[in-house]
Structure 1
Amino acid sequence: MPRRPIYITDLDHTFLRSDLSVSNFSAETWNKKAESSIMTIATARSFQKSQELLKKIDINAPMILLDGTIVITPERKLIDLKTIDKKLGDAIVDVGIQFDIHPFILGLKDNALNEAFLYPEKLNDYQRDVLKGYKDDSRMQFNPNNLTMEQNLKIVYFGYEEQLRPLYEELKKVFGTSIEAKLSPEKYGGGYFLTLLHPKGDKAHAMKKVMEYLERDHEEITVFGDSVNDLGMFKLAGTSVAVSNALEEVKAVADLVLPHSNDEDAVAKYLKSIG
């Protein structure tokens, strides 16, 4: 009996439309494919937000969340967790303060995997715009002293490239391999974001954990993506697929570049085309 194929998709700018919706066509195509395939996601978003955005979607394998820091089943069984401890987290923030930039911090507030989203007192214009999208988020907590948590999932700086690139270079110099640092364009607002993770808290390491759980080989996977945090998965997967609106550096390493964008249901059209 042939083994079920495995598909893992990024969400923002890949599977989700730019207004964060899932079209009926995408939902129906995905769910039909899930009847005979292993289907899951790899996203920078949290468990809570992914559940909200994907109410119409059937996911039948562990999900890669928060850039790879959490691997968890749809039933909320934890497979893997990679966090930055408070000592290292506070040291990272101290470097940012030297550059006059204060971060957002996403961490765990209890053993039930409930998250807290800490935001600073000092905000740049770009951070203020980002916060508007979280005004009704129950995870939000004011963090005037810029202190990190005991278990930090990721530390994120939003701003502009000229602000964040010097900080990115300094953090790599100071902390080396003890952190994973990713600097990337943010397509919704036109700025940049800098994400700091556990060195094994990225999507590529998380994908390996999913494969161990499924007892399958990474060469059996097809992955879909658009951005820098998808590159590790692209290098590991048997087939890597970029949507037409992906960053050029992502398209350059993809096995296949789709003719459609996320707003044209690119992933679903591909899944339908292969039967």
Structure 2
Amino acid sequence: MKNIYITDLDHTFLRSDLSVSDYTKKIWNSYENDAILGIATARTYKKTAQFLEGISVSAPMILLDGALIATMDKKIIDTKFVDKETGDAIIDEGVKLGIYPFVLSLVDNELNEAFSYSTTLNGYQSEIIKRYSNDNHTHEFKSLRAMENNFKIVYMADEDILIELEKNIKALFGEELKYILAPEAYMGCHFLTILHKDADKAHGIQSVSEAAGFDLNKLTVFGDNYNDIGMFELANSAVAVANAQEGVKEKADIVLPHTNDEDGVARYLEALKNG
């Protein structure tokens, strides 16, 4: 049975400028005939497909932190949604603290997505929106509301306010939802991501293993942040890049000497091939 390699994207497989080096493409693609290759990311389908142009992906992709499992040719394997009523309640809790989220939703079964946000943005969010200036799936609202099928609701702010917000939302919904509070590696703020309770990379790995028929004992995963820990715990081999969060390194079987900007994943894979 083939080995399986599944990698996170941001700060792991992608460089900090969101590119994939020619070297990484060459090494990764050299495994396409001998291994099952996949990704697990917080990114949407659209962005992931753009970033991975020319990259071999043979397993269904774990997208939006596990809220969506889909193939590169847009076949939907699984979805985990936050419903509109819950989404609106989450937005309202943020309003009480003067902050508004990004809401990522599914528009249709063709994997058209909506990235919704309020006209009221903090500085961190404004920087993110600049990156999406040419995307046609972004929608600005004076009165932000959730859609029917929401993949995730994401707040960006200083850690202390997000800790308070998480506490308030947990008081309403408890363990009915999943909460991921993590630092943003380069912007000096934190994210609070709120998802369906089973929307995570660990559940995504299980769905992909069933769809692709692979053995978890043959699985190696690569990551850098706290949303990768679930798949670290499932994999036979969990590999953290050198720039990973310290708490993530503690959960890894292997910590690489190279960062994402130094092609850490590809260097590891090349070393495996060379014995």
Residues 84-163 of structure 1 aligned to structure 2 (within 5 Å):
84-163=82-161
Name the counterpart of 2:36: 38
Q: Any conservation in 1 of the 2:82–2:151 contact (CA below 8 Å)? A: yes
- Structure 2 residue identity aligned to 1:225: G
The reply to whether residue 227 of structure 1 matches residue 200 of structure 2 is no
- Structure 2 residue identity aligned to 1:173: A
Name the counterpart of 1:212: 210
3-state SS in 2 of match to 1:138: coil
Q: For 1:198, which of 180, 196, 199 is the aligned residue?
A: 196
3-state SS in 1 of match to 2:17: coil
3-state SS in 2 of match to 1:111: coil
| Percent of aligned pairs sharing the same letter | 49
Q: Any conservation in 1 of the 2:241–2:264 contact (CA below 8 Å)? A: yes
Shift of 1:108: 1.1
Normalising by structure 1, we get a TM-score of 0.97
Shift of 1:151: 0.3
The reply to whether residue 176 of structure 1 matches residue 182 of structure 2 is no
Normalising by structure 2, we get a TM-score of 0.97
3-state SS in 2 of match to 1:88: helix
Distance 1:272 1:169 in 2: 44
Report how many residues are paired: 273
Name the counterpart of 1:13: 11
1:41-96 Cα deviation digits (max 9, x unpaired): 00011111111111121111100011111111112111101111101111111111
Name the counterpart of 1:253: 251
Shift of 1:216: 2.3
Alignment RMSD, CA only?
Answer: 1.0
Structure 1 stretch displaced more, 126-135 or 240-249: 126-135
Shift of 1:197: 0.5
Distance 2:222 2:270 in 1: 14
Question: Which consecutive residues of structure 2, in runs of 5 or more, have no partner in the other structure?
Answer: none
- Structure 2 residue identity aligned to 1:187: A
The reply to whether residue 274 of structure 1 matches residue 266 of structure 2 is no
Distance 1:166 1:84 in 2: 21
3-state SS in 2 of match to 1:34: coil
Name the counterpart of 2:238: 240
Query: Could you list the runs of 4 or more consecutive aligned residues of structure 1 that deviate by over 3 angstroms after TM superposition?
Result: none
Name the counterpart of 1:29: 27
Shift of 1:228: 0.8
Shift of 1:232: 0.5
- Structure 2 residue identity aligned to 1:223: V
Distance 1:44 1:66 in 2: 4
Shift of 1:215: 2.1
Shift of 1:98: 1.4
